[in-house]
Amino acid sequence: MFEITFLGTSASAPSVKRGLSAQLVKHNEYRFLIDCGEGTQRQILQAGLGFKRLNHILITHGHLDHILGLAGLLSTFMRWETIDHLEIYGPRSALERIDDLLTRVVLRGARPPMPLTLIPITPGVFFEGDDFRVSAFPVHHRGSESLGYLFEERSRRPFLPEKADALGVPAGPLRRDLVEGRAVHLPDGRTITPDMVLGEERPGTRLVHVGDCGETESLLGVVSGADGLVIEATYLEEEREMAHQFSHLTARMAAELAQRAGVKALYLTHLSRRYREKDVLAEAQSVFPNTIVVRDFDTFIIKRNE
């Protein structure tokens, strides 16, 4: 499963109740900050998350409302917070802008307080843990080089204790070996293979995150069947032409993508101050009922229902 906390949910500029784009995704001991709008470090503190293990930052694109918070975050690390390393992933053009921001404005010739690496990525898998991986995919947004992110647990075969009991496999190391795919030998001379005690393969949880976006047709493949889809809803349908002009989505467009792709739950963010939250929710839920319009500091568990 994955846990996501929304730290900033406003579009372009902050409002009284909403900060700029930032989300924190957690899986076991791993933490990934997606985008870092102005004020993100304060949102992290207010959410009670702290900076421990905040080693991986994923940037969707280089627009300022998604990266300016990196300056404050690094400045804070230089003063009183220490992590052992920091890796910032994103499109090359975004990282070039971030490099200017951090080296020329914040560091100004000083050394960063930890090993700092900017890692340009292209579509495909770029991070792998023991039981999950993170992939990037292209997103179309107003001429910028933009990426979305797919967090995906590896598929697994569940252990069936009743079958192990029937075969006389004792609890302990032998069962662990079978779960890890190794055959075991019982004291009576029998060999038990994993296929004898494991069920059918089940796909892992899939969480898809899309930042600013101007169209949805190209996203259908990667979004299909996702357990959670995080995506923008900057406009309402009444201003669809303006959404097209600025390469953003309406709430209805996001909901139509969720409906067509068969996702389990839709989380709408990047909201304009021009609309009431209930109107955004009503427009989306008229198409896709399992829609949530998220607020700053909302936290959700994303997992696959067996």
Determine whether the annotation assigns residue 270 to a binding site.
Answer: yes
Residue 27 marked ligand-binding = no
Q: Please give, one letter per residue, the 3-state secondary structure of 123-181.
A: CEEEEECCCEEEEEEEEEECCEEEEEEEEEECCECCECHHHHHHHCCCCCHHHHHHHCC
Provide φ and ψ at 222, rounded to 5°: -70, -30
Is 244 marked within a binding site? no
Marked catalytic residue, from 65, 99, 188, 227:
65
Kindly state the tokens that stand for 270. 């990047």
Q: Does 65 participate in catalysis according to the annotation?
A: yes
Rounded Cα gap, residues 50 and 219, in angstroms:
33
Q: Where are the alpha helices (DSSP H) in the chain?
A: 40-46, 69-79, 92-100, 161-167, 173-179, 220-223, 240-245, 251-261, 277-285
Name the nearest CA neighbour of 119 among 29, 31, 57, 51: 57
In 3D, which of 155, 168, 261 has the Cα closest to residue 208? 261
* 63 annotated ligand binder: yes
Q: Is 66 annotated as a binding residue?
A: yes
Catalytically annotated residues: 65
Annotation: binding site for Zn(2+): 61, 63, 65-66, 141, 212, 270
Annotation: binding site: 61, 63, 65-66, 141, 212, 270
